[in-house]
Structure 1
Amino acid sequence: MIHILIADDDPHIRELVTYHLQFEGYTIFQATDGEEASILLAEHPIHLAIVDVMMPNKDGFQLCKEIRDDYDIPVILLTAKDQLVDKEKGFAVGTDDYVTKPFEPKELLFRMKALLRRYHMVNAEKIKLHDTIIDRSSYEVDCNGQLLMLPMKEFELLSQLASYPDRTFTREELIQLIWGADFTGDDRTVDVHIKRLRDRFAERTNDFSIKTVRGVGYKLEVAKK
């Protein structure tokens, strides 16, 4: 499950963003100021932070710098100001993106997904699912000490699902992410590749399972051990 921190002293903004992100399946942690956000960052695994610039106790610039110094997660700064000097300061302290209020929740969501995808591709070279390790750099899967070389599309599909455990992907999303916008086949291609992955790992491990979400798509669940 992807954990998102929302740090904003405006309760309406927090509730608006929380509503839309929870609908997408994200787990949300809310902070009313920078100090509370720092505590949440220390206590919980956070994958992305949405930070308001103007907050009491510790402002967004200070919090962003702290995140950049101590954590390896993407940051989106929110501000009511649309001034070049604020954006310059935001990028100087390490923000990855900048959204000006008022904003469309869907735009924020698109920017979040792009950052999460970029961070996973750049930073998470190895995805560990108990005794199963997916190595993005070598395109190998180590399953209980046995090295597997999967066909490329199967590997990319497994990596995509494993990067976001418990998140449901529609077939259309998986087509876009794995096969690309120019793909001319139909979404049954996803079903075929999912079946192949299930068959490959069914007898090898119970570290994870790929679940069908009826009428929607697929998600990967990590076994609780």
Structure 2
Amino acid sequence: MKRLTLPVTALLACTALFATSACSNGADAQDASDGGGTGSERTGGSEPSEGTGGPADVDVSGVEGATLHTSEGDVEVELFPEDAPLTVANFVGLAEGEGVPNPETGEAAFYDGTVFHRVIDEFMIQGGDPRGTGRGGPGYTFEDEVGSGREFDEPGVLAMANSGPDTNGSQFFITVAPTPHLNGMHTIFGHVADEESMDVVNGIAGVETDASDRPVEDVVLESVTVHRAE
């Protein structure tokens, strides 16, 4: 099992969370051009498809949260539609099949069956890539929403991976420790809602991984259930 402390992760920011880009100041968190970076490095990106539009036009006024049904257990998250309305609409649209379909499976519910392709203990877990390589996405990018004042000041922050400013797509990550070096670089659109869910996230973060931080045994995001106010 690979365990990286945050200081080491920051130094190795070019191999961790995002897909295959280059690091900047040892603390950039970026991934694929379709939005695959997370945390403190740039790891190459996804190649966006052409002509696939943008985030779904979804009403998120009543959205409160979501359940990520994973192969390791359920993760309840609270979503922040007031702080990041476009990002939440994108996530909800992809999750519920109102956005673009998964380009690999053809399924309307984009996230169903995707894997957490990059996992770093004491840092974060990253998923949302239809290819499972860190280089996939929905075929479009959209702008950041980083002006809410929310920060990476505690474990359990849910945020978008990217390959630079305004390159969000479908990939997201959940932190397992405070990661202040990511402040202002990634859109925060939710957080883990309870201790039991955080235990699941920590369990995923601690699985055995290979040299590229991919779990040796797939950790699957089986489906996502969105919760709205009644």
Q: TM-score, normalized by length of structure 1?
A: 0.24
| Bigger-Rg structure (1/2) | 1
Larger helix share, 1 or 2: 1
Higher relative contact order (CA 8 A, sep 6+): 2
